[in-house]
Structure 1
Amino acid sequence: MEHTIFRVFDDSGVERQPAQAESVARDDTALMDAYSNAVVDVVDAVSPAVVHVQVKSTRGGRSGQGSGSGVIVSPDGLILTNNHVIDGAQSITLAQGDGQHFGARLVGRDPDTDIAVLRAETTERLKFAKLADSKKLRPGQIAIAIGNPLGFQSTVTAGIISAVGRSLRAENGRLIDDVIQTDAALNPGNSGGPLVNSSGHVIGINTATIMGAQGLCFAVASNTAEYVLTQILSHGRVRRGVMGIVAEHVVLPQRIRHALHLTQAGAIGIRSVQANGPADAAGLKAGDIMIALDGVAIAGVDDVSRVLDAKHINQKVIATVLRSGEKLEYAIVPEERG
């Protein structure tokens, strides 16, 4: 009888002895078991807060049906989902994994971020998921998507965060900033469901995939979703001031942070300035790096939206920017977004 002998080498090319090879195999198995257990624990904790959103709608005079996912974020039944899931809805029904069904009403929606807020029509206290601080996310972290792709309820996929600070164009043509890219597989029906970290907290609301590409899936960051939720509960809609810039997240080099005594790791880089807009009138230019607005540190693009809320519309705010290594300040009067 012939025996196959497997030889194992370490990173430096030195052959491991059988006992060492067996130990390495056990360590690898333990790591995979730990990963699996972490995903299982998260799914057990979050799945009761995930709902299947079923919609009867009318578009262009035609009646239709659609579906997506949503996540309960408060025990009294507030639910985050995608605007495109409920757009044109005449009636909304929610289904939980345990078979319960109840109606829902639309509290408010924000097409600019593709986020909508629903209220479950039930007197029961519901299981809910907590929102994470998406500014703390780093590429390579575990990302778990839970939803109802193609109608298959409570489907789970797992992967990693591929990138943060992406921009994605919403259905109304506006750019959604601070979008998370993940390789956790998403399909039609996942829209509106949660993207969750290894602690079981929601880091994003799944919103889109790139058709024809594998592993290019996107979620609206939880900080953006939380901002929209707060605005809708306060005003019934999201009122925003705008400066007339296109910007993206940038990492601040350590030497600049040290020289300027900055505690933030990132800022926003201005890619272009709208002609005759507030930023243009104030003197901002493409290539400027904005580190603060109205005295608030700007570590990412979502921070700008939170600063430019309703009370700052048509009111002077001070933008602190870096230009050619020099720190400058400009007075900007934001306009209300139309």
Structure 2
Amino acid sequence: MNWRVILAICVAVAVFEPLGDTRPAQAQAERVTPVVEAVRRVGPAVVHISTEQLRDDLRFSPNPIIDRYYREFFERHGPNQPEARALGSGVIIDKAGYILTNEHVIMRTGPIKVTLSDARTYTAKVIGSEPARDLAILKIDGDKPFPTAPLGDSSDLLIGETVIAIGSPFGLSNTVTTGVVSATGRTIRSDADRVYLDFIQTDASINPGNSGGPLLNINGDVIGINTAIYGDAQGIGFAIPANSAKAIVEDLIQFGQVNYGWFGVRVQPLNPS
């Protein structure tokens, strides 16, 4: 009888011990969701941008949504401060060190400092900008290729699909938030009557400092550049579609500006006379 008991115990240990070894590994694997994988893939290519803007020269984006929160942010430094620190984000789109960000992050600034996720810091130079699209290209130089996150395809976005925002809200580098595509094709009109077309609307949390950072889909593709929030509302943010950015990136890198076609036609309103 005693031998039978001992044998039963040995069999039980042999059966259940392997399960004890594999369950933690299985649980760990279950935690590695598509969001985690996307962040691991793209995170190293997201940068923190810090600059200083002279208050005398400070101008705000023609986008009233951007204008409101940036004005409030800078005014906290007080009227006697000659400079105001601007914070933003960017994404490295080429291993040579080309960074895509928002134009309003780097407009009329002094030296621009770029910090990578591994804490390496570089001084960046502005290669080109396009205020009408609120996009700019920066360049940093290093002794080896940089991690990249090339722009993806934003033409087939699904309303309700999961999206991921990575950036530096309020200077908190490498912050990750998630949400969904709330709408596409949004049009925003500025106080200066400048119109921004085809924005992506998302409820992923976007705050000052997120501007210029990437908006990803669940596959880790860069589908947008986070740009603005809607006043004091909760969960209403906007991103420039990746395809809109791709249309001008090459011009910004090569020429420093966007070269639009010229039709040689002047438009004027008609009247009865």
For 1:314, which of 260, 263, 268 is the aligned residue? 263
User: Structure 1 residue 195 and structure 2 residue 215: aligned?
Assistant: yes
Query: What residue number does 2:154 align with?
Result: 134
User: Structure 1 residue 93 and structure 2 residue 106: aligned?
Assistant: no
For 1:40, which of 23, 36, 42 is the aligned residue? 36
Distance between the aligned counterparts of 1:43 and 1:79, measured in 2? 18
Query: What residue number does 2:69 align with?
Result: none
1:65-113 per-position Cα deviation (integer Å, ceiling 9, x unaligned): 2110000001001111111110111110100121110110000111111
Distance between the aligned counterparts of 1:139 and 1:57, measured in 2? 38
1:195-236 per-position Cα deviation (integer Å, ceiling 9, x unaligned): 001111110000000122111100001011111212212332
Helix, strand or coil for the counterpart of 2:123? strand
For 1:60, which of 50, 56, 61 is the aligned residue? 56
* Maintained 8 Å contact 1:105/1:121: no
Deviation at 1:334, TM superposition (A): 8.1
User: Structure 1 residue 181 and structure 2 residue 201: aligned?
Assistant: yes
Aligned ranges 1:240-259 → 2 under 5 Å: 240=260
1:162-218 per-position Cα deviation (integer Å, ceiling 9, x unaligned): 111111245864111111000111111101000001111110000000122111100
- The alignment-based identity, stated in percent, is 40
Distance between the aligned counterparts of 1:314 and 1:40, measured in 2? 48
Change in CA separation of 1:60 and 1:171 when aligned onto 2, cut-off 3 Å: farther
Distance between the aligned counterparts of 1:232 and 1:178, measured in 2? 20
Deviation at 1:120, TM superposition (A): 1.1
Equivalenced residue count is: 216
Query: What residue number does 2:132 align with?
Result: 112
Change in CA separation of 1:234 and 1:172 when aligned onto 2, cut-off 3 Å: farther
Relative to its length, the structure with more strand (as a share) is 1
Change in CA separation of 1:157 and 1:234 when aligned onto 2, cut-off 3 Å: same
Query: What residue number does 1:124 align with?
Result: 144
Query: What residue number does 1:161 align with?
Result: 181
Aligned ranges 1:265-280 → 2 under 5 Å: none
Query: What residue number does 1:143 align with?
Result: 163
TM-score by length of 2: 0.74
Letter in 2 for 1:212: D
Change in CA separation of 1:172 and 1:95 when aligned onto 2, cut-off 3 Å: farther
* Maintained 8 Å contact 1:111/1:172: no
* Maintained 8 Å contact 2:214/2:224: yes
Change in CA separation of 1:144 and 1:46 when aligned onto 2, cut-off 3 Å: same
Relative to its length, the structure with more helix (as a share) is 2
Aligned ranges 1:185-334 → 2 under 5 Å: 185-240=205-260, 310=261, 313-314=262-263
Change in CA separation of 1:94 and 1:314 when aligned onto 2, cut-off 3 Å: same
Query: What residue number does 1:278 align with?
Result: none
Distance between the aligned counterparts of 1:162 and 1:36, measured in 2? 25
* Maintained 8 Å contact 2:94/2:148: yes
TM-score by length of 1: 0.60
Structure of higher RCO (CA pairs closer than 8 Å, 6+ residues apart): 2
1:119-170 per-position Cα deviation (integer Å, ceiling 9, x unaligned): 1132321000021111111211111000010111110001110111111245
Q: CA RMSD in A?
A: 2.1
Change in CA separation of 1:218 and 1:153 when aligned onto 2, cut-off 3 Å: same
Helix, strand or coil for the counterpart of 2:33? helix
Helix, strand or coil for the counterpart of 2:170? helix
